[in-house]
Chain A
Amino acid sequence: MKFFTEENSELAKEIIGRYPKPRSAMIPLLHLAQEQEGWVTDEAMTEIAELVGTTSAEVLGTCSFYEMFKRKPVGKYVINICTTMSCALMGAGDLMKHAESRLGVKSGGSTADGLFTLEGAECQAACTEAPCLQVNYRHQYRVTPEQFDQLVEDLAVADTDIPEHGVLSQIRQHIPEDKFVGTTPPEDVVSAPVWLSEAGGQ
């Protein structure tokens, strides 16, 4: 039983083909697995290991290092409230307390209906717009308690543009075949690129 759908298997091959060494595709493939399932399953890691030519233990080693990869199911919407300095100075602590009471879970927990996971997060590169949060890694800025309640209501009835957890960029890079320079394992490259060796460029 294959983990990746046929479509995602094709995509996985395309992604691997962009790197001089297949192992470099590990993080992109873990994202692809998480997009398909909402979290990263053991089956996914085993298959990724085969695809990039390593062991599933190595994949678990990489996977477990990165915070975004969830190794158990999470809510449809993961709400990350920034708690680092700029946001903390502007009331992130109060926002977190409000969120905990509104959702009825502590930071790190998920609601019983499987809709929301609430997490405290580190700096989200929106420091001038504090306090900020992300829903499935899409920002909301200068969030007031009222806005938080509205956001939760909108998410509950899927009245937003925010996709389910696991879906990151909704636009994928595709390199057209006729424009793709292609990859060569570094050990097989022995000379300078042509535009450098024929100084003058064109």
Chain B
Amino acid sequence: MAGTPIPHAPGFIANTTPRIVTSRFDYEDSYTLTRYEATGGYQGLKKALQQTPEEVHNEVRDATLLGRGGAGFPAGVKWGFCPPEVWPRYLVVNGDESEPGTYKDRLLMELDPHQLIEGCLIACYAVGLSQCFLYIRGEMAVAQERVAQALNDAYAAGYVGKNIQDSQFSVDIVLHWGAGAYVVGEETALIESLEGNRGMPRLKPPYFPASIGLYGQPTIVNNVETLSNLPWILEHGAQAFTAIGTETSPGTRMVAVSGHVKRPGVYEIINGTTTFRDLLYGTDMCGGIRNDNQLKAFVPGGGSAPWFTPEQLDLPFEASHVGPQGSMLGSGAIMVMDETTDIPAAALTLTKFYAHESCGKCVPCREGGTWLEQILRRVVEGRGTTRDLDLLIEVGETICPGDFPHAAISSKGIEAVPFPYRMTTICFVGPSAFAPIHSALTLFREEFEAKVAGNDEPTMIEVAVDV
């Protein structure tokens, strides 16, 4: 075809960080079994099979591999939550990447699908998971194709299926596609979807599907990037992994920086020590703000995360630093706004996302999200009033009662409110609709006031009701 091609997924930019999960991204044929085997592929699995499942589990626990999907919970600990002697257990791979700003799992699936498959096998072996469902977001046709081909090749080569590498270890990996619903990224909604239902999150407790998950059985749900780390950990050992980064946040992690930087891209960075300043201004990373403009604000961890300002640039990628300062690292998605950004309008692009993606199960989110969008839209379009600004907060507080987390603003003498928030909903979609509004209003209230200035408050009519 001479016309518009379907391009190879772009975006990854190498730097000086050791490359754990992106080590094959430079090869044109990085997604093939031939390249994978030629570059150390399936060695981690072979090493695992020479150990007992318990030893493999311990290795992963010792590596303190934090989940890369958003919550940052250690994978080895999560695996240990399966109740003993309840069978079968399942693995569900969360490849439903759709948090605003997040772009890493799709790259891993398109550019190195065998690494993910090997990670799945290691997890299944260690925890005794008898079947794996690899759930890929519906809107990722190329990732589905790459993973399907990789699975077909891996089955043919004896890496997946019955008696893997002539051992007692047998497991099927079933490729499953979603069909377009952000909320399905929430692990219990993912399980509902995999059972053929509307993808609505389940009531908690139980908090972890490891106790009650798919078909009511113990189920481990792990993110694509989390699992993609396992082959390296098994091949090089937990010690080599913890030698990178910090004790509480070892290894590397993938982050996507988008918006107003000179070199937006996907970077593999050292966990725990790399700071937002390194990432946004480092010459081997984003290289500063476009046109050398001033940085106004940035979203540090996906669309759900409360915003930061230049004041927080020196915080490292370490939950114990970022949480107390009012936000989260989430899914490694950093969205950057320079001085030219219309802040209320930027907040609207996120709030309308969450309002649109509400599954409708919890009333505060289903109704409140839409109200927030409508009120904010009229403010952005110059039809709002001062009362609307209070109304936004009031509606938000029905979803998230109490102090909502936010960053410190020294110039205004405002101190940080630590993450997380309280919520009246089952999952985080509702609070996420409010997060951008709360951040934008706290940090840049004057921009909202300018938009409503001069507009008359609607006249209230008193209605007498006879009882």
Chain A residues with a Cβ under 8 A of chain B: 18-21, 23-28, 30-31, 52, 54, 61-62, 65-69, 80, 83-86, 88-90, 121-130, 134, 136-141, 150-151, 153-155, 157, 159-162, 168-176, 178-184, 186, 189-196, 198-202
Q: Which of B85, B170, B171, B337 has the most CB of A within 10 A?
A: B170
Given the complex, which residues of A lie within 8 Å of B149, measured CB to CB? 171
Given the complex, which residues of B lie within 8 Å of A83, measured CB to CB? 349
Question: Would A65 and B198 be within 8 Å (CB), given that A21-B215, A134-B139, A193-B130 are in contact?
Answer: yes
Contact A125 B180 (CB under 8 A): no
Question: Told that A124-B139, A140-B7, A189-B87 touch, could you supply 13 new A-B pairs with CB distance under 8 A?
Answer: A23-B197, A30-B179, A65-B199, A67-B179, A68-B138, A125-B97, A125-B98, A125-B137, A137-B141, A139-B6, A139-B142, A192-B85, A199-B53
Our pick among A139, A173, A195 for the contact of B152 (Cβ within 8 Å) is: A173
Question: Would A141 and B7 be within 8 Å (CB), given that A170-B145, A172-B148 are in contact?
Answer: yes
1/0 contact string of B168-203 vs chain A (CB within 8 Å):
111110111111111000000000011111110000
B100 interface hit (Cβ, 8 Å): yes
Q: Which of A138, A180, A190 has the most CB of B within 10 A?
A: A138
Give A59 Cβ to nearest chain B Cβ, in Å: 9
Q: Which of B125, B151, B176, B265 has the most CB of A within 10 A?
A: B176
B458 interface hit (Cβ, 8 Å): no
B28 interface hit (Cβ, 8 Å): no
7 CB-based A-B contacts, threshold 8 Å: A24-B195, A127-B100, A127-B264, A134-B139, A150-B4, A173-B174, A186-B215
Given the complex, which residues of B lie within 8 Å of A124, measured CB to CB? 139
Contact A85 B101 (CB under 8 A): yes
Given the complex, which residues of A lie within 8 Å of B11, measured CB to CB? 126, 128-129
Our pick among A26, A162, A168, A199 for the contact of B196 (Cβ within 8 Å) is: A26
Question: Would A169 and B144 be within 8 Å (CB), given that A21-B195, A23-B196, A85-B349 are in contact?
Answer: yes
Given the complex, which residues of A lie within 8 Å of B59, measured CB to CB? none
Q: Size class of B's contact patch?
A: 35 or more
Q: How far is A127 from B140 in the complex, measured between Cα atoms in Å?
A: 14
Q: Is the interface of A mostly helix, strand, loop or mixed?
A: loop
B335 interface hit (Cβ, 8 Å): yes
Q: How far is A141 from B4 in the complex, measured between Cα atoms in Å?
A: 12
Give A147 Cβ to nearest chain B Cβ, in Å: 8
User: Can you name the residue of chain A whose Cβ is closest to the Cβ of B49?
Assistant: A201
Contact A141 B179 (CB under 8 A): no
Contact B128 A192 (CB under 8 A): yes
Q: How far is A124 from B106 in the complex, measured between Cα atoms in Å?
A: 10
Contact A159 B1 (CB under 8 A): yes
B216 interface hit (Cβ, 8 Å): yes
